């Protein structure tokens, strides 16, 4: 394991190697190269050292509903992150709580997790508001199915107002290696899906899409920072 202090020193030296002072830049570059050779560090190691993980609690248990998984994928596309879902019991050992772990460059991971929590709160609020408009005589399963259909369509609507962040093959490979180093072998996530829609459920998808298309997600202007979400 390479000490953090070594990584920090190498990064400082590499930053100084861009100095306008040629002498200072040359010394800093040689120091960085010496440390990298001493500890067997390459450019990929430096890039992975900039990766981090941030948690976002979900309103789900062992298996998240498909609409929450779709929302996580939307956030990943906007912030250039990846996710792993995990579930564990709460402190009392009674309730199973789920969470998404967003990973990627440090700033992106933190902001992506925050953005997920904000959008999840808005999505669930809109889903509940929609369900309150349904006929009270409907069966619980029917209300749940229509609520899920609304929520999935909500995420589809939100896609129309965001700008995906294109990742290079090299960055995708860094994501893969970080996932492998941090989590090892993972099981495939199988989200909880609702039953097949019926003809009378289609208004739920229309309402959900319209609600989601009102979402506002500012991509920000800096490469490593994304601004706060706003829902209009």
Q: Lowest-pLDDT range, 121-130, 144-153, 163-172?
A: 163-172
Under 8 Å between Cβ of 87 and 55: no
Average pLDDT over every residue of 1-13 = 75
Q: For the segment 183-209, what is each residue's pLDDT rounded down to a tens digit? A: 887 777 777 777 777 888 899 999 999
**CB neighbour list of residue 132: distance below 8 Å, 6 or more residues apart:** none
Give the pLDDT confidence score for residue 228 in this predicted structure: 41
Average pLDDT over every residue of 148-170 = 89
Give the pLDDT confidence score for residue 29 in this predicted structure: 78
* pLDDT-derived band at 217, boundaries 50, 70, 90: low
Give the pLDDT confidence score for residue 94 in this predicted structure: 67
**CB neighbour list of residue 211: distance below 8 Å, 6 or more residues apart:** 126, 130, 150, 154, 157
Give the pLDDT confidence score for residue 226 in this predicted structure: 42
Query: From residue 222, how far is each of 89, 107, 108, 186, 226 by CA, in Å?
Result: 38, 11, 11, 32, 7
* pLDDT-derived band at 229, boundaries 50, 70, 90: very low
Give the pLDDT confidence score for residue 93 in this predicted structure: 65
Under 8 Å between Cβ of 135 and 104: no
Q: For the segment 86-142, what is each residue's pLDDT rounded down to a tens digit? A: 888 766 666 778 899 999 987 789 899 989 988 999 999 999 999 999 999 999 989
Average pLDDT over every residue of 157-181 = 86
Q: What angle do CA 142, 203, 199 make, to 5 degrees?
A: 65
**Is the confidence at residue 211, as pLDDT, over 80?**
yes
Give the pLDDT confidence score for residue 75 in this predicted structure: 94
| Mean confidence (pLDDT) of the chain | 82
């Amino acid at each position: 394991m390479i000490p953090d202090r070594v990584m920090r020193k190498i990064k400082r030296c590499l930053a100084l190697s861009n100095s306008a002072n040629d002498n200072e830049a040359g010394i800093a570059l040689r120091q960085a190269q010496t440390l990298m050779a001493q500890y067997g560090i390459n450019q990929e190691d430096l890039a992975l050292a900039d990766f981090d993980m941030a948690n976002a609690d979900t309103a789900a248990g062992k298996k998240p509903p498909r609409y929450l998984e779709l929302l996580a994928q939307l956030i990943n596309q906007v912030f250039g992150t990846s996710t792993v879902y995990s579930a564990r019991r709460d402190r009392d050992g009674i309730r199973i709580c789920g969470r998404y772990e967003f990973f990627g460059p440090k700033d992106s991971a933190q902001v992506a997790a925050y953005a997920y929590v904000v959008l999840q709160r808005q999505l669930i609020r809109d889903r509940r508001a929609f369900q309150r408009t349904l006929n009270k005589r409907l069966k619980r399963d029917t209300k749940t199915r229509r609520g899920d259909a609304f929520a999935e369509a909500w995420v589809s609507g939100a896609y129309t107002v965001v700008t995906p962040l294109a990742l290079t093959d090299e960055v995708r490979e860094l994501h893969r290696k970080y996932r492998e180093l941090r989590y090892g072998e993972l099981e495939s996530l199988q989200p909880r899906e609702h039953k097949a829609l019926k003809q009378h459920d289609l208004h739920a998808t229309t309402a959900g899409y319209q609600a989601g298309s009102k979402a506002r997600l500012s991509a920000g202007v800096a490469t490593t920072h994304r601004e706060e979400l706003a829902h209009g």
